[in-house]
């Protein structure tokens, strides 16, 4: 490293490390690099914190540059040790722990801090921002002890925090000082549609509210509003904005206003000191979106490497995001004014809204909700300032009047157009990656990070691969099942079949896993695929199952468990009820509750009591924790109801006994309604049966969860035997064709009801599916019998290895 200039980076975040990535490509041998980070982590994707909070992603999954990357590039990294003092005359920095480093060039990439409203009580326990991993950890901890959460701020960050807290089982209220959510990114109609969607997910909203104070003694217990009203809460998350972190820069003598003032080369007021990212103020503007920060980093890297560049002249921004599963996009001047005209398209049934705003003959703004595929193209036209006269309607509808395809629009995109706003990836970067042989989404993601965050740009990435690699080369343009492999589901299953692979470890070794131990995404998937392909031969790998499945109970937020015995069709007996009551008393169960699936739930059970409790119950598990058949809900049907036309109870019990214990890609719920009044809610189940005069209607793909989806009519049959046959065929077809962790509703959206009808209409194929299903069922055993017959299985109630798979 002798002879190299010493470069010190203060801040280990996305903007600063992206600058180093560019610099290492342009001038790999020019600098000896040292990085000081305030957090005890390597560089991670802050945008993905909401996914960590929601439980679908681990901290490791959002790491952008692991410790090995720093070592490979000879970067000295100090984590959890922020710089506290800078001597710009002697060119030295000193960290909190006393480490002193000299520099030739210094970069401030200190980012920003969550803005905490200066309210009475804002310093109480339970009042936090939403900015880093520590905030996530505090929210996770709070969710295990408390019930009610309030999020102050109805912008993107606030809604993401609310979605995560909702997923953790908390009651969440979002408090916003405007009438419309995300009012800085969406117009009124789009905001209203977003609110309706989020309310269906379970969020509550208080709009046009100003918080006056936070109440409570040591810990917050409520919020008092300016209007005099009050609400109870156990946790307050402030998501009202950010403040550039400039205190150290100001103390070091740099000129600051809102941020650290920089010129077009990202130079500060002191020689050899630079600033990039959220802490930098350029031409009076500080940026919070990733794309502009990455543009700044690219310019600074060129300047430091001596490469000719045009300088940074500011950014025209757009927002393309996924908010709690809903795609939204906005760019430019999207609000109406006296000198603009706008065109709108709104479909509240499909949840799609589009609006373009025109000033003179130019497109100046756009808002998209639900379908944002045209966002990059519209943004490109806004930036180019070209005339759109005569093309207004085709821009709105997303099609060309001459009938040309979307592929042509992809080719027309400018090279510097941002495709992945989360990671600042341009079209040129993706095209270059394709030219270097990256012909799948997973490969492009590994190379450029495009589609590696919210995933909203994935369709455009796929189109670019097809456009620039050709249909044949892009035939594998499918994302790998996780970051451990670029192989998708079909490739993995084909490989398992052709090579006769019989264990998880064998699959990972033979098929070239990047991570030899796998991860929390691929191990459960491989365990399922092997069990589905080799029933009777494959030995289920307990360590590749989630905690709930290993303990045969649902873990609760306080660390206790919920035990749900199976009650077929929701029908029980006095003796069964007595047994459950006696077990509940014996183990001092805090609560016994009726579930929505017509069963009894014993809540608050200690982990060490689970094996003995299952033995004492001596009842089949209701599998309330598994990716398997959960319940078959029934109404009383013709047995008692005067409106019933068929025996719903008997058929429901028969269905449940036929398919219990069957592993599936995701949980499966069924219901049988004895008449079209649909009291058992059959239309919103994975497989629903509705009685009509002399027949049964079979519905598939329903979902009553976060996004309600009505089931689609599969067929109408005459007898109960036919119901069982078609149910078995449908479930097995789903088991064999769907991806791991894919609900039937999402599977139907992907493949379409027509293809499923066509496949199952073949009676021979239907019989083959049922035969394979029966073979699988022959080798399944209920958990309580396993535990009772083999005491060694009690070891399943302890962590088996470092893979404590706690999230489904």
Phi, psi of 492 (to 5 degrees): -65, -45
Are residues 140 and 278 located together in one domain of the fold?
Answer: no
Q: Residue 269 above 50 pLDDT?
A: yes
C-alpha 335/C-alpha 354 separation (Å) is 13
**Per-residue confidence band for 1, with pLDDT thresholds at 50, 70 and 90:** very low
Tell me whether residue 587 is in a domain. no
Other CB atoms within a 10 A radius of the CB of residue 120 amount to 12
Are residues 394 and 425 located together in one domain of the fold?
Answer: no
Tell me whether residue 788 is in a domain. no
Where is average pLDDT lowest: 91-95, 105-109, 330-334?
A: 330-334
The per-residue pLDDT for range 511-546, each reduced to its tens digit, is: 888 877 888 788 889 999 999 999 988 888 877 777
- At 543 the pLDDT is 76
Residue 471: which CATH number? 1.10.10.1100
The per-residue pLDDT for range 596-610, each reduced to its tens digit, is: 888 899 999 988 888
Average pLDDT, integer, range 74-78: 97
**Per-residue confidence band for 786, with pLDDT thresholds at 50, 70 and 90:** low
Distances (CA, A) of 159 to 213, 233, 385, 580: 21, 17, 33, 41
Last residue of a domain, one of 544, 563, 579: 544
- Burial of 284 (C-beta count, 10 Å sphere; 0-12/13-18/19+): exposed
Residue 383: which CATH number? 3.30.390.30
Q: Residue 372 above 80 pLDDT?
A: yes
**Per-residue confidence band for 446, with pLDDT thresholds at 50, 70 and 90:** confident
**Per-residue confidence band for 461, with pLDDT thresholds at 50, 70 and 90:** confident
Tell me whether residue 54 is in a domain. yes
C-alpha 67/C-alpha 631 separation (Å) is 46
Where is average pLDDT lowest: 10-14, 363-367, 794-798?
A: 794-798
The per-residue pLDDT for range 722-756, each reduced to its tens digit, is: 999 999 999 999 999 999 889 999 899 888 899 89
**DSSP alpha helix (H) spans, 602-664:** 610-617, 637-640, 648-659
- At 521 the pLDDT is 81
Tell me whether residue 403 is in a domain. no
Residue 692: which CATH number? 3.30.413.10
Q: Residue 801 above 70 pLDDT?
A: no
Are residues 722 and 775 located together in one domain of the fold?
Answer: yes
**Per-residue confidence band for 290, with pLDDT thresholds at 50, 70 and 90:** confident
- At 445 the pLDDT is 80
Please answer whether residues 19 and 44 qualify as being in contact, where contact means their C-beta atoms are separated by less than 8 angstroms.
Answer: no
The three-state secondary structure class of 142 is helix
Are residues 272 and 358 located together in one domain of the fold?
Answer: no
Are residues 233 and 337 located together in one domain of the fold?
Answer: no
Beta strands (DSSP E) in 502-634 are: 554-555, 561-563, 591-594, 600-605, 629-634
Q: Residue 264 above 80 pLDDT?
A: yes
- At 267 the pLDDT is 98
Residue 221 belongs to what domain range?
127-240
Q: Can you count the helices (H) and strands (E) in the chain?
A: 27, 38
Q: Residue 428 above 90 pLDDT?
A: no
Tell me whether residue 577 is in a domain. no
Phi, psi of 327 (to 5 degrees): -80, 130
C-alpha 533/C-alpha 536 separation (Å) is 10
Are residues 750 and 640 located together in one domain of the fold?
Answer: yes
Report residue 253 CA to chain centroid gap: 42
C-alpha 591/C-alpha 563 separation (Å) is 11
Are residues 170 and 273 located together in one domain of the fold?
Answer: no
Q: Residue 803 above 50 pLDDT?
A: no
Please answer whether residues 467 and 511 qualify as being in contact, where contact means their C-beta atoms are separated by less than 8 angstroms.
Answer: no
Helix axes 290-305, 14-26, angle to 10 degrees: 40
The DSSP secondary-structure symbol of 796 reads: G
Would you put residue 385 in left (φ > 0), alpha (ψ -120 to 50) or beta?
A: left
Where is average pLDDT lowest: 360-369, 460-469, 552-561?
A: 552-561
Average pLDDT, integer, range 427-435: 88
- At 371 the pLDDT is 83
The per-residue pLDDT for range 664-688, each reduced to its tens digit, is: 999 999 999 999 988 999 999 999 9
CA atoms within 13 A on the CB side of 791: 0
Tell me whether residue 710 is in a domain. yes
Q: Residue 805 above 50 pLDDT?
A: no
Please answer whether residues 293 and 21 qualify as being in contact, where contact means their C-beta atoms are separated by less than 8 angstroms.
Answer: no
- At 405 the pLDDT is 41
Instruction: Tell me the two tokens of residue 487.
Output: 């192989």
Are residues 13 and 151 located together in one domain of the fold?
Answer: no
The number of folded domains in the chain is 6
Average pLDDT, integer, range 300-329: 84
Q: CA quadruple 391, 395, 400, 406: dihedral positive or negative?
A: positive
Please answer whether residues 179 and 208 qualify as being in contact, where contact means their C-beta atoms are separated by less than 8 angstroms.
Answer: yes
Tell me whether residue 624 is in a domain. no
492 vs 478, more confident = 492
Residue listed under structure tokens 């966002």: 375
Q: Residue 477 above 50 pLDDT?
A: no
Residue listed under structure tokens 């009519």: 713
Tell me whether residue 405 is in a domain. no
C-alpha 542/C-alpha 524 separation (Å) is 9
C-alpha 698/C-alpha 662 separation (Å) is 20
Q: Of all residues in the chain, what percent carry a pLDDT higher than 90?
A: 55
Please answer whether residues 524 and 803 qualify as being in contact, where contact means their C-beta atoms are separated by less than 8 angstroms.
Answer: no
Where is average pLDDT lowest: 106-110, 715-719, 792-796?
A: 792-796
Kindly state the helix (H) or strand (E) to which residue 448 belongs, with its residue range: helix 441-448
Are residues 775 and 647 located together in one domain of the fold?
Answer: yes
Give 132-140's long-range contacts (Cβ < 8 A, gap of 24+).
132/39, 132/46, 132/49, 133/39, 133/41, 133/44, 133/49, 133/52, 133/59, 134/39, 135/49, 135/237, 136/49, 136/52, 136/53, 136/164, 139/53, 139/164, 139/165, 139/168, 139/235, 139/237, 140/53, 140/168
Are residues 230 and 266 located together in one domain of the fold?
Answer: no
687 vs 641, more confident = 687
* Mean predicted lDDT score pLDDT of the chain: 87
Are residues 635 and 774 located together in one domain of the fold?
Answer: yes
**Per-residue confidence band for 99, with pLDDT thresholds at 50, 70 and 90:** very high
C-alpha 417/C-alpha 425 separation (Å) is 8
Q: CA quadruple 796, 797, 799, 804: dihedral positive or negative?
A: positive
The three-state secondary structure class of 689 is strand
Residue listed under structure tokens 């035990």: 563
Are residues 234 and 255 located together in one domain of the fold?
Answer: no
């Amino acid at each position: 490293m002798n002879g190299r200039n010493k470069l010190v980076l203060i801040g280990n975040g996305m903007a600063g490390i992206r600058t180093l990535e560019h610099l290492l490509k342009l001038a790999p041998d020019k600098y000896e690099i040292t990085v000081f980070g305030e957090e005890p982590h390597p560089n991670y994707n802050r945008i993905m914190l909401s996914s960590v909070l929601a439980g679908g992603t681990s901290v490791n999954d959002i790491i952008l540059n692991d410790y090995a990357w720093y070592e490979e590039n000879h970067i000295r990294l100090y984590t959890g040790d922020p710089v506290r003092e800078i001597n710009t005359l002697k060119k030295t920095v000193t960290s909190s722990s006393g480490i002193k480093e000299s520099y030739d060039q210094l970069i401030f990439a200190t980012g920003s801090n969550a803005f905490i409203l200066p309210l009475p009580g804002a310093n109480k326990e339970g009042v936090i921002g939403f900015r880093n991993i520590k905030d996530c950890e505090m929210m996770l901890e709070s969710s295990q002890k408390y019930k009610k959460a309030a999020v102050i701020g109805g912008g993107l960050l606030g809604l993401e925090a609310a979605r995560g807290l909702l997923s953790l089982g908390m009651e969440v209220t979002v408090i916003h000082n405007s009438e419309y959510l995300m009012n800085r990114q969406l117009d009124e109609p789009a905001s209203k549609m977003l609110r309706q969607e989020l309310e269906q997910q379970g969020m509550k909203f208080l709009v046009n509210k100003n918080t006056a104070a936070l109440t409570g003694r040591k810990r917050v217990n409520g919020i008092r509003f300016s209007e005099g009203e009050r609400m109870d809460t156990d946790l307050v998350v402030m998501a009202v904005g950010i403040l550039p972190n400039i205190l150290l820069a100001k103390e070091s003598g740099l000129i600051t206003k809102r941020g650290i003032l920089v010129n077009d080369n990202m130079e500060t007021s002191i020689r050899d000191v630079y600033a990039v990212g959220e802490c930098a103020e350029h031409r009076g503007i500080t940026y919070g979106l990733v794309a502009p920060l990455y543009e700044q980093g690219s310019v600074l890297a060129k300047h430091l490497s001596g490469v000719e560049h045009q300088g940074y002249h500011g950014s025209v921004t757009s927002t393309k995001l996924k908010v709690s599963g809903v795609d939204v996009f906005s760019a430019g001047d999207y609000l109406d004014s006296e000198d603009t005209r706008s065109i709108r398209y709104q479909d509240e049934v499909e949840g799609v809204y589009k609006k373009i705003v025109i000033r003179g003959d130019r497109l100046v703004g756009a808002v998209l909700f639900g379908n944002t595929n045209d966002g990059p193209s519209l943004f490109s036209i806004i930036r180019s300032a070209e005339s759109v006269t005569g093309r207004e309607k085709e821009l709105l509808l997303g099609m060309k009047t001459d009938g040309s395809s979307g592929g042509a629009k992809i080719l027309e995109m400018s090279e510097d157009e941002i495709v992945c706003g989360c990671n600042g990836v341009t079209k040129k970067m993706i095209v270059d990656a394709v030219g270097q042989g990256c012909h799948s989404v997973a490969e492009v993601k590994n190379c450029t990070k495009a589609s590696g965050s919210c995933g909203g740009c994935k369709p455009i990435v796929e189109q670019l691969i097809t456009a620039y690699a050709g249909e044949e080369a892009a035939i594998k343009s499918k994302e790998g099942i996780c970051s451990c492999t670029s192989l998708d589901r079909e490739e993995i299953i084909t490989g398992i079949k052709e090579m006769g692979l019989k264990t998880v470890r064998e699959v990972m070794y033979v098929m070239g896993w990047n991570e030899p131990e796998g991860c929390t995404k691929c191990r459960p998937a491989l365990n399922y695929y092997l069990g589905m392909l080799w029933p009777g031969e494959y030995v289920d790998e307990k360590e590749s199952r989630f905690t709930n499945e290993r303990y045969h109970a649902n873990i609760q937020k306080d660390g206790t468990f919920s035990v749900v015995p199976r009650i077929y069709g929701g029908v029980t007996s006095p003796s069964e009820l007595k047994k459950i009551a006696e077990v509940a008393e014996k183990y001092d169960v805090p609560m016994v509750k009726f579930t929505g699936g017509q069963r009894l739930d014993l809540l608050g059970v200690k982990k060490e009591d689970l094996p003995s409790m299952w033995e004492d119950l001596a009842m089949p598990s209701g599998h309330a924790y598994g990716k398997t058949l959960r319940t078959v809900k029934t109404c009383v049907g013709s047995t008692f109801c005067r409106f019933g036309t068929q025996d719903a109870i008997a058929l429901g019990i028969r269905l449940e006994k036929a398919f219990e214990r069957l592993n599936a890609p995701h949980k499966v719920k069924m219901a049988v309604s004895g008449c079209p009044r649909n009291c058992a809610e059959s239309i919103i189940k994975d497989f629903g049966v509705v009685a009509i005069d002399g027949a049964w209607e079979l519905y598939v793909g329903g979902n009553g969860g976060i996004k309600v989806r009505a089931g689609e009519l599969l067929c109408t049959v005459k007898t109960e035997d036919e119901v069982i046959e078609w149910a078995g065929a449908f479930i097995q077809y789903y088991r064999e064709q769907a991806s791991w962790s894919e609900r039937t509703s999402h599977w139907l959206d992907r493949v379409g009801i027509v293809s499923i009808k066509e496949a199952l209409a073949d009676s021979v194929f239907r019989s083959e599916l049922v035969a394979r299903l029966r073979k699988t069922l022959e080798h399944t055993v209920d958990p309580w019998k396993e535990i009772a017959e083999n005491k060694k299985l009690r070891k399943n109630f302890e962590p088996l290895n470092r893979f404590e798979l706690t999230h489904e």
